[in-house]
Structure 1
Amino acid sequence: MAGMMLGRERRVPLLFPIVGKFYEDSFRHAGISYAMRQHGFARDSQWKLIAHTSESCCFMLEASVTTHKNYPFVYRLEMETWLKKNTILTQYCSANLDSTQMLYASIVGLPKNTYKTLGY
C-alpha cells in the first residue's frame, strides 16, 4: 500500500507535529528557519502499512528527506486501529529516534466526519 487514503485531499485525519499554527507558518531551531503549515504534515504524508489482521491495522510515518526539510528531527509515528465489538479504537505512539531532544511534537486524531457525529 503506497499510502493510506481517507479522502481526496487528505490522507490521514491526524495532526502532527503541530496542532495549530506557527506565527508566519515557520519556526526556528538551532538558528535555522523551517516552514511548517498549519497542523503539520502528517495528514498529507505517505504512511506505510506495517501490520494488519482481520480486525486491526497499524500504519507508520517516519522521518524522511522530505519531512526533514520542515521538521529536522528523526521520529517514528504509529497509528493502530482495531475493531472491538461495535467500537473502533485508535492508538497513537510517537518515538524520538534522534540524538537530540525534539523541539516540539503534538498529536491529535480527527476521525472523518466527527463533527457530524458529535453534532458540531
Structure 2
Amino acid sequence: MIYKIENQHLEVEINSFGAELWSIVNKSDQTQHLWQGDKSIWPRRSPILFPHCGRLKGNIYKLEGKDYQSPMHGFARDYEHELVNQSETSITFVLESNEETFKLYPYRFKLYTRYELDNNRLNCTFEVVNCGNYEMLFSIGYHTGLMCPFDSTKSIEDYSIVFEKEETPVELLCNSEGLLSGEQRIYFDKKNIIELNDKIFQSSIILSKLRSDYVSIIENNTGRYVKVNIKDFEYVVLWSMPDNVKFICIEPWHGLPDMYNTEGQLDKKLGIQKINAGEHFTCTQTIEINR
C-alpha cells in the first residue's frame, strides 16, 4: 500500500512493501526527485539493505556451522512492512522476524523504518532491535535513487557531486562479480567535486575515510540541489547504471560486500555490526531538497 506524508515544502510517498521510499516531490516547482523505477533500467527506487549490504559470495553466508542463502542486499526490501503509526508529516513501519525470515537469517529482530519531514528535509531512520537472547550480527544501508538530471531540459553533464569538505577518500574496488577484490586506491586527492558524465559509473564507487557530513547533487548553472547526510557512516557508495545515467544512488552503508576470497563466516565479514541481546542500533539518512 502507498502512504503519503507532506508539509509545506515536500510531498512524500512510501510503499509499505519493503517500507520503500516511493516519491519525493518538491512542492515549489513540482519536481520529482526520486527515481521512479524502470524495468528496462533499474526497477527499484530506494530499497532497504538489511541484514547485509552488497553481494555475498555465492549468495551464502555461514553462521554457527550452518549455511544460509540470502539474496543481494538481503531480504528486508522484499517483505511487507507493518504500519506502526502515521501523522501528517511522519510515518513508521516495522518488519519483525518470522518463520520465513528465520530460513534466511536466524536472529529474532524488529526493524523499524521511520520517515519524518522537517521543513525541506526528509529524515529516514532505521532502528534495528535485537529481540533474541544473544549477540546479533547484521549490516544495514540506504540505496536511494535520486533523479539526475532533475528534468528533461538538462543532461548529466550539467550536474556535479559535491562533498561538504575537500576529501582524499579511499576507494574499495570490486571485481566483475561485485565482490571486494582487496585492492584500494585514492579516489582523488584534496578535492570535493566529481564532475558527472555517462561514463563515470562503470561499477559501484565504494568510498571510505570521508570527513564530510553531507554530499550533494548540484545543478551547475542554477544551484538547485539534493543534499544527503553521510555523517557517522563508515562507507558511502555512489552508483548508477553505466553509460546512460538517469539517476544517482547515494548510499550510506554500515556494511560491505563480501571479499572475493571469503570463507563466508558472518562474524568475520568486513563492516559487520554487532548488538547485544535487548539492545538497538539506529542510523539516519537525511535528504534535503533546495527550497
TM over 0.5: yes
For the residues of structure 1 that align with 2:126 and 2:57, how far apart are their CA atoms? 27
Of residues 42, 47, 65, the one that matches 2:76 is: 42
Which structure has more strand as a fraction of its residues? 2
Structure number, greater radius of gyration: 2
1:81 equivalent in alignment to 2:93: no
Counterpart in the other structure of 1:17: 51
1:4 equivalent in alignment to 2:8: no
Q: 1:114 deviation in Å? A: 2.2
1:57 equivalent in alignment to 2:91: yes
Following TM superposition, the consecutive aligned residue runs of length 4 or more in structure 1 with deviations greater than 2 angstroms are: 5-12, 113-120
For the residues of structure 1 that align with 2:120 and 2:56, how far apart are their CA atoms? 39
CA pair 11-43 structure 1, distance change in 2 beyond 3 A: farther
Moved more, 66-75 or 28-37: 28-37
- Contact 1:4 1:11 survives alignment (8 Å): no
Q: TM-score, normalised by structure 1?
A: 0.85
CA deviations on 1:91-112 (whole Å, 9 max, x unpaired) are 111011111212x21111223x
Counterpart in the other structure of 2:146: 114
For the residues of structure 2 that align with 1:11 and 1:69, how far apart are their CA atoms? 26
CA pair 11-61 structure 1, distance change in 2 beyond 3 A: farther
CA deviations on 1:71-107 (whole Å, 9 max, x unpaired) are 00001111110111121111111011111212x2111
Counterpart in the other structure of 2:135: 101
The letter for the 1-side match of 2:124 is T
Which structure has more helix as a fraction of its residues? 1
The letter for the 2-side match of 1:25 is N
Larger RCO (CA within 8 A; separation ≥ 6):
1
Percent identity over paired residues = 28
For the residues of structure 2 that align with 1:107 and 1:18, how far apart are their CA atoms? 6
Gaps of 5+ in 2: 3-14, 23-36, 151-216, 218-246, 249-291
Q: Secondary structure of 1:20's match?
A: coil
Aligned-residue RMSD, C-alpha: 2.4
The letter for the 2-side match of 1:105 is F
Gaps of 5+ in 1: none
Count of residue pairs the alignment pairs up: 118
Q: 1:12 deviation in Å? A: 6.0
Q: TM-score, normalised by structure 2?
A: 0.37
- Contact 1:63 1:74 survives alignment (8 Å): yes
